[in-house]
Structure 1
Amino acid sequence: MLYLLLYPLGTNFTIFNVFRYITFRTIYAGLTAFLICFLLGPWFIQKLKDLQVRQYIRQEGPQSHQKKAGTPTMGGTLILTSLTISVLLWGNLKNGYLWITLFITLTTGLVGFLDDYLMLARKQNKGLSARNKLGCQTLVALLGSLLLYFYPGFSTEITFPFFKHTTVDLGLGYVLFASLVIVAASNAVNLTDGLDGLAIGPMIVASVTYMVFAYVTGHARIAAYLQLAYVPGGGEMSVFCGALAGSGLGFLWFNAYPAQVFMGDVGSLSLGAALGTIAVICKQEILLVLVGGLFVIEALSVIFQVGYFKMTHGRRIFRMAPLHHHFELKGWPEPKVIVRFWIIAIALALVAISTLKIR
């Protein structure tokens, strides 16, 4: 909005020319989202308390988590609010990628909101059924992927990290592939959201990482120099990533151990979907396995645990899944699990960024 309003004034007032720079708008999108989240946070948390929007803790989880019962939840609403306002303020609203990403993020957030609401209404840790939740996520992802497929100039080729000229054009099949990436990312972040600040920390790291990839793939000269797939208009996703990182930092202020608020499914499902969508638009879908490596590890720990349990009729690989619970039950204090998992997320993100030159 500010871009469309103020940049044209640059012909008469040179100071407004700064709005043409994606880097400038990315920085201030991040700061704006952070300030909105930070300033509204105390009021928002108090409103959640007044409305009795409180977390229910499953009995089969670690017993140390029972003290978290009653903590306000659905804090993801605050993240989405600050993210959306910031993107609308600092983004180029003529860019279709921004609107598609917002559509997928907010509609997936609506699915999470419904899941959280049903848990509250039933006063137990049971919202949408797994089938209904996955079905709604898939529908949103398919619609968003179709919009991308028909978006002018959008490529249906998949590129591979560490390789210069290896690409595969999936054609219409790319819609299914992109949907899989978005749904998988959404659920992986959701599974990781089990400790105070555990999910939002790596989300910030992943957002900053994809901020870099969005900028370089959206810049024709830099993309050509680094031998990356050039995405016309894709650089605008840096603004979205900046707002995503900023809103995440603002939320982390209140979600850090001991958490004053939880993000709920409205936050975790939507943020994961946003991350998957950004990866698809930047043509760095495969690299999401590295950038979001912590989320992948957490999701795989659940898949392996459930599969092994069924195959062996009751035996387990881990003491409890997702993986962060395993380390809790081994005696690691919650803050130690969180910070060490953050370190892993940062290390994986650095490896992912290194692929810019290792080709």
Structure 2
Amino acid sequence: MRAGRGRWLVVAGVLFGLAAWLMMSGQGQEEAPPRPRVEFPRRLRDPEVQRLERRRTYIAPVAASEAPATPEPVRPRDPVLAALPRGKGKSAVVIEANALRHSPLGEMVLECLMRRGSAQLEKFKQDTGVDPLQDLDRMVITDDGIILSGNFGDPRLKKLLTGESQATYDYGKGGRLFEPSEEKTLADGTKRRRDASPIGMWNDQILVLGDTTSDVKDVLDRVEGRGSEESPVLSEQQTYGEMYGVLSVAQLQQLLPPDQQELARRLAEVAENVELHVDASRDFAMTARVRGMDANKLTDLGKSLGGALSLARMRAQAEGDTKLAQLLDFAKVRPDGDSFNLEMAVPLEVIKNQLAICREQQDKDAPPPARAAP
């Protein structure tokens, strides 16, 4: 699953691209409506504190040789956070699939997608016993693969994974590894099998899709307390919003278009990483916190970005693009010591209008209803 190595880039691109696409679509000469109030994700809120407390369900076993003479109580932890990559230069983006699915924005997007995809979803549910709309809790996209959390205990899924695997074996305390293979028929009629992407399962609640067996084992090791003692790239205090994560600057540079390479160069010079948070509980509101070691250079970079946003806003006003001007009112740079926050937002009403185009197009493409027989 070599393509999985870069899949998180798609998600990160959505965070920037969705806002940019919605802001750049359409022009209007009408008077701008009053500016709505948008709440940006900046810290844990009470529902998110309760959410992280509910997820502290697992205590990693301690080897007898490592147990202290007077053991201290061990606090349960969230196994998904434990599974995240560790160390500098790592990236991970978490999508709260269940929360996003039940948000107003998620409901509208789902309605648009399901008008054509309901048959495929139903077949997937019948084959695996897994309903992504109900059983999937979180999806984590990392440099080395994808981590899914939810309810994966249906026997149909295990039977499917076992039947497609040439090797299946237990790993650690609660893990299981599946090493599938794919059969391909060649032009001369002969069949050839090749190894496919390995899959790991842990306690029926975590699925790991990795590029290599080693990648999958590394995730299972981290869940059960083996391997590196470095902290995960995300702490509990950073798990707010419907999407959140940390992107290394090296990876973020790949998201910027060719005409923004000067910005990419400056980011690489002063920043260590970018922490992303998206609140989709109503509007689409994103906060990107850029951190670095040199506070002065970071401040200069923040001022440059703020100036570019102000210039774009004035240009939109001068050209009579009231919709774009209104949306750019939400785009701001807020300095904060050794970091700065870049905030962007798209009100729900704007997204609703854009998704209406999707519904209209699907209705247009739908076959006409069959005429009743005389």
- TM-score tier, shorter chain, comes to under 0.3
Q: Of the two structures, which has the highest relative contact order with CA contacts closer than 8 Å and spacing of 6 or more?
A: 1
Scaled by the length of structure 2, what TM-score is found? 0.25
The structure with more strand, counted as a fraction of residues: 2
Task: Point out the structure with max Rg over C-alpha.
Answer: 2
Scaled by the length of structure 1, what TM-score is found? 0.26
